[in-house]
Structure formats: C-alpha cells, structure tokens
Amino acid sequence: MTNPEVEQREIAAEQAYVDVVHERLGESTKVAAAMVKEGYERINIGNEGGLVERDAMVFQAQRRLSALNAAHDGLVFGRLDLVSGEPRYIGRIGVRDADREILLVDWRAPAAALFYQATAQDPTGVVRRRVLRCSGQRVVGVEDDLLDASAAPDDMAIIGEGALMATLSRARDSTMHSVVATIQKEQDDAIRAPVRGATIIGGGPGTGKTVVALHRAAFLLYNDRRRFERGGVLVVGPSSVFMAYIERVLPSLGETAVTLRSLGEVVNGVPAAAHDDAVAAAAKGSVRMLTVLRRLVAAPQTGEPTDLRYFYKDDVLRLDARQLAAIRRQLLSGLKRNQAFSRAPAAVATALWRQVSGERALEKGEAEFLDVLTSDHRFVDFIEAWWPPVDAVQMWRTLSHRVAELADGAFDAAELEALKASWVDGVPSIEDVPIIDELRYLLGEVPLPEDEADDAPKQLMSFERREREREDELRTTGSIEDDGYAHVLVDEAQDLSPMQWRMLGRRGRQASWTIVGDPAQSSWPSPEEARAARTEALKGKEEHVFRLSTNYRNSAEVYDLAARVANVAIPGADLADAVRRTGEEPEHRWVAEAALADSVVEGTAELLERVAGTVAVVAPRARLAQARADLAGLLQADPARLRVLDGLDTKGLEFDAVLVMEPDEIIAESEAGWRTFYVVLTRATQLLITVGTSETWLSRVS
C-alpha cells in the first residue's frame, strides 16, 4: 500500500511541473488571441487581396486559439522515466518553453509512442510509466506502472494500483471522454496503423473500438494536417444519440476540423432521426432497392405527356409514346437525367425535323425550322412537361405510389405493404437517406436557372465564409461523388445496409478509412449482402486488420450473461475477456403485466440510488413512449443521468447501470433481435436488471 506522505510528495512535484507547462500554454494562448484581435483591427486594407490575407490570418489564429483553449483540461497526463534518467512528459498537445525546448510531447508524436507501446515484457527503455490525474490545472493523483524493476533507482516511488484499473472503476457521465492517458498497446497499434488504405478495428463490446478510432482520427490530423484538414475527415455513427455522446472526444484532443454525422445526417438538407420498422428497413437497405431506383429514374415521370403533335407549314409532325421512349433511352444512354435537360429540346427537335416533307418547309431548311420551333411556347411547354429537372427528394416522394409498378418481383407483398406504409407521412426515415442520396447520384445536379448560374467571384466574401460555402456546395451537389473526404471513419459498421455502404462509399472513393465494428452485434439481417457492398466501397484499398481482445467496459458478472446470449444466438461471436469483477450479479425480475410499469419505475429509482453515474432504461420500440411517460418524474428530477432508449439507440453507448424492460419483446422486434439484446446487455458497466412479463429468453441461456 502506498505511503500517503510519499504520494503527496510525488503529487506536489508533478504539480510544480504542470504549473510550468500551463504557464507556457497561457502565454501561447495570449499570443493567439492577440493575433485574432490584430486581424479584426486591420480595417484599412486597401485591396481585395489584403482582405483575403487578413481573413486567412484571423481564421488560422482562431483555430489555433480554439485548440489551445480545448487543451487546458487534462493538458499533462503522462510521464515516462527512461533508463537514461530523462523524464519525458506526455500531453494533449505539444508545448515548448521560450527557448524552444520541449516541455510536453504531443501524444501523437513518435516520441510519445513509448507511453503506449512499452510493456513489462518489453519495456523498450522505459523504467516507470506514470499517469497524472488532473482536475482542471490541479494534479489530484498519480498512478504508476513499474516496467523495468532492474533499472529502477532505489529512491523511485511507485504509486497506486495501476492507471487503467483506476480509470475503469470511475463513474460515467453523459458523454464519452478521451482515454489518451490509458491507451493500451493493442489499441495503440490500431491508432498508429498505416495512413493509406482501410484500417479495420474489430473486437467484442467494451474493447474500446470507438474511442480508439476517434484517437486514430486525431493521430492522422496531427501527422498530415494539410491533407486531412483540406480534404476533411468524416465521422459517421449510428444515431444522433451516439454522436452527442462522442462529440467531446476530438475537441478534447485539440481537433475541431472534423465533420460528425449520424447515418440520418450524412446528406445535407435531408435530416432523419427515426428508423423504419424492421421489414421496411430491410427492404430499403437491400440492393434490390437499387434496381427499383434505376427503373424509376429511367421511367417517364407521373403526369408527363405521352405524345407530341406539331403543325409546321404543310406538315403535321407527331411523336408517339414509342418514339418518345426511344428518345428518352438515347438521352439517358450517356447522361444522367438532369444532365440531359439541356439536350432534350435538340433531341426532340431533330426527331420532328426528320418527319418534315413539305416543299416549303424543306426550302427554308432545318435552321429556320429550329428557330421557329424553339421560340414557340407550345414546344417549350411540352419540353418543360416532358423532361423537367427533378430533385432527388421530389422523385423520392413518388416512390410511395410507384414502388409496386417498378419492383416487378423485387419485393414480396409484405415488403411492398411495409414500404408504402413507411412513406405515408412524406418524412424521410434514416433508411430513406441513402435512397435519396442514390437518387441524387442517378439524377445528377438540378440545373440552375440561367440568372443563378453566373459564377463571378464574390469580391467581399471573407476567407472563412468562402471555405464554408465551398464545403456546403460539395456536400449538397452531385460533385460530392467525385470530391468526397480525405478520411472516412465509420462506427458500428456491422449495422450498415448495402445502400448505406453505397452512400458512404461515394464520399470515400479517394479517402483512407477507419472501420469499426463487431459482426456479433449486427442488426442487419443479410450480412453477406452487406459484406459485398463494403468490398465495393473499399475497392482497391489495402486493409489493415486489428482485433481488440480485452473488454474494459463490463464487469465480468455482466459480460458472462451477455456471452451466454451470444453463444446461444450468434454463432462465432467475438467474445473478449472482461478484466474486472464487481461482485454484483445481474438481477432478473418477473412481474404481471399490470405491475410492469411500477416495477420499471421502482428498479430505475433503485439504480439511480446505487450508482453515481448514468442509468439507461432500454424498452421495446412499441413500449418506448409509454416507458418515457411512466418515468417522467425521474427523468425530470435527474435528466443528466437517466436515459430511456430503444435497443438500436444504445449502440456505442455505455452506462453505469442498465434496466432492460421486456427482453423477450426486444428479441421479437426483428430478425436480428437476439443480436440487439446482446448489445443492450453489454451497455452496463456495473449493474444490470431485467424486468419482464416472461422469461423465455433466460430459459434459453441458462
């Protein structure tokens, strides 16, 4: 056991060093703030180039200031004592003194790699690894790992029980935090994987896949900032709940140049927060939907004229439905529908001219015919009705009454019924977003009216606004398929449908990738189909595969139950090793339907009393609204600690305690119900209670 006096002496010594680093950081922050102020005060620039230069300076200085401000909390978190006698301090960002000597090594720098890579079996020149726990700028504790006892001086103090185990025992709050101080070697290997290609991070629940992937994004930005900031880093997660949970991780590491999107937010201007029921979701995500969309884009749109009659001189010119269909096929053979908009008039006019036979008309020639035709409002009205530019959302809205006609056997009767029902309210679901994105790709950009097509430079646009508008343009037009991002990070990738893989693949054609997932947790019913779509999205990219083997999240008691669920229902599940015990076994309560609500409220209140951190109540989707109503009092009293979610929305999250309501109903919700239940059970770090009116599930895992 550590001597308290020795521990306080060590803390005081570290505090003295941390104070020096913070003082230097404060000086750097003042310099950055002064640069921002100076830029705003440059009023008399005199020319447009000066304005751009000023705005560029302000933009970069403001970003530097934001990174410095974000680094204050937990700035210094690690120390290495090397065989050479040199102490090396590790932190969120790099800091130098006034003479440019290193005070603090950025955790992403090669010199910091030893902090994560050194082990007792292979200390690589490290005698002691120390983690500093800080609250603001104050050191509140230290935890040591002695890696090379033979090289340790006699007076070297070793404090605590080990940084990792101390961290694991602390209560959670409503957001994920960086684990930069306690990254383990197998995690660090994945973080520092080669930049090119696709880094695949697998492993069971609680192995740290998500936070490792986020730290990898920060590592990439540090090592090739110009490339990844200019091209952009896209982080995609399963839900808005999940994105809110992880949003603080990268800023806490000093990185703000990252776009975070849930799957329902990937396409600008088409936000979606709700899932479809299982049948509709599976149909929309399948590659069978791609066939329907291609037919929809190639087919005449509802209300389009089916023939054209035109009188010219002595001739009656006519194009019937068959002839118009041939012109349509000709236009679409080399162009997307909206790209062909400008060529449609000429194609129709040429077909009409071929029918001209009168002497007077032939005498005047084709040029006069075209002049007369294209200035005739009747012809113009026909073209606008026959080949109007079509927006992707506008075309998506026609699916509800055309899907049966276009499916032609692609979907069965139950699927068609579910699809039509899902589109009744005209509000896109999360599963509709990739459909709309696919239509954007198939249709091409909607042409701008002539008066809006002028691309003259905006002389007074600021540098920052110019950058933002460029990004918005790329994200909202067909050009996104070609430009995309420099890096795409996908979490919970095992749940992606083929259509979602296509959506993300368009944004990552020239990108490197980080893909995080665990097949055992998949909620997608056709994994082979999804794997094929992923292979296509990553076509030509070398894959670097990493498996994380240790479950740091769940107590062994909780994970033992979850593992039994996995073994019954999920062949080949990747089961990690849980590293800690709490002595708290999961508790199962069976009640009558009439007592269910009271039992859920009672169990939730009990969990809120027993843990200091967060509690989740997970309910079947059909009971979610009622569960929230029943728990309204507790939610109002403790909104920061209590969440009520369905099974899918728990993906990627963790809580100190979880109460699962009606497990058998959660299992029955979809083909992947057992997998979803496995995910739900593995959200709990300390306590787990199930409450239900049946015990069928437990009889299968006992």
Within a domain: 449: no
Average pLDDT over residues 297-309: 90
User: Do residues 606 and 638 share a domain?
Assistant: yes
Last residue of a domain, one of 551, 584, 602: 551
Higher pLDDT, 458 or 329: 329
User: Do residues 159 and 23 share a domain?
Assistant: yes
Instruction: Indicate if the pLDDT at residue 46 is higher than 70.
Output: no
- Phi, psi angles (nearest 5°) of residue 12: -65, -40
Residues 6+ apart with CB under 8 A from 427: 272, 274
Angle 459-460-466 (CA atoms, 0-180°, nearest 5)? 90
User: Do residues 513 and 579 share a domain?
Assistant: no
pLDDT at position 502, please? Answer: 97
Average pLDDT over residues 291-319: 90
Instruction: Indicate if the pLDDT at residue 38 is higher than 90.
Output: no
User: Do residues 70 and 164 share a domain?
Assistant: yes
User: Do residues 495 and 375 share a domain?
Assistant: no
User: Do residues 468 and 363 share a domain?
Assistant: no
- 576: CATH: 3.40.50.300
Within a domain: 651: yes
Average pLDDT over residues 87-99: 89
Within a domain: 101: yes
Sheet holding 655-661, edge to edge: 587-590, 684-692, 655-661, 615-618, 642-645
pLDDT at position 683, please? Answer: 93
Q: Above pLDDT 70, what percent of the chain?
A: 85
Last residue of a domain, one of 518, 551, 584: 551
User: Do residues 102 and 247 share a domain?
Assistant: no
User: Do residues 110 and 228 share a domain?
Assistant: no
Within a domain: 30: yes
User: Do residues 625 and 654 share a domain?
Assistant: yes
Return the biggest CA–CA distance within the chain.
Answer: 113
Q: Which of 571, 555, 565, 554 is nearest to 519 (CA)?
A: 571
Within a domain: 696: yes
The CA distance from 576 to 554, in Å, is 10
Average pLDDT over residues 443-451: 73
Within a domain: 423: no
Instruction: Indicate if the pLDDT at residue 44 is higher than 90.
Output: no
pLDDT at position 204, please? Answer: 86
* Total domains, the chain: 4
Instruction: Indicate if the pLDDT at residue 622 is higher than 70.
Output: yes
Within a domain: 330: yes
Last residue of a domain, one of 347, 362, 386: 386
Residue 132: domain span: 4-168
Out of 46-50, 130-134, 202-206, 504-508, give the one with best mean pLDDT: 504-508
Q: pLDDT tens digits, residue range 157-168?
A: 888 755 444 454
Q: pLDDT tens digits, residue range 260-274?
A: 999 999 998 899 989
User: Do residues 537 and 588 share a domain?
Assistant: no
Residues 6+ apart with CB under 8 A from 104: 21, 75, 76, 89, 90, 91, 93, 94, 95
Within a domain: 283: no
The pTM of this model reads 0.70
pLDDT at position 29, please? Answer: 76
Out of 88-92, 295-299, 689-693, give the one with best mean pLDDT: 689-693
Grouping H, G, I as helix, E, B as strand and the rest as coil, residue 512 is: strand
- Phi, psi angles (nearest 5°) of residue 142: -135, 150
Q: How confident is the model at residue 65 (pLDDT cuts 50, 70, 90)?
A: low
Average pLDDT over residues 510-515: 95
Instruction: Indicate if the pLDDT at residue 169 is higher than 60.
Output: no
The average confidence (pLDDT) of the chain is 84
Instruction: Indicate if the pLDDT at residue 292 is higher than 90.
Output: yes
Q: Using CB atoms within 10 Å of the CB of residue 16, give its burial: 0 to 12 exposed, 13 to 18 middle, 19+ buried.
A: exposed
pLDDT at position 86, please? Answer: 87
Higher pLDDT, 161 or 598: 598
Q: Using CB atoms within 10 Å of the CB of residue 602, give its burial: 0 to 12 exposed, 13 to 18 middle, 19+ buried.
A: middle
Q: Which of 280, 292, 567 is nearest to 439 (CA)?
A: 292
Q: pLDDT tens digits, residue range 184-221?
A: 788 888 988 999 999 999 988 888 888 888 889 888 88
Which helix H or strand E contains 578, and what residues bound it?
strand 577-578
User: Do residues 160 and 53 share a domain?
Assistant: yes
Which helix H or strand E contains 132, and what residues bound it?
strand 126-135
The CA distance from 387 to 341, in Å, is 7
Give the least confident one: 64-73, 112-121, 284-293, 633-642. 64-73
User: Do residues 69 and 102 share a domain?
Assistant: yes
pLDDT at position 34, please? Answer: 73
pLDDT at position 587, please? Answer: 96
* Tokens 């929809």 sit on residue: 296
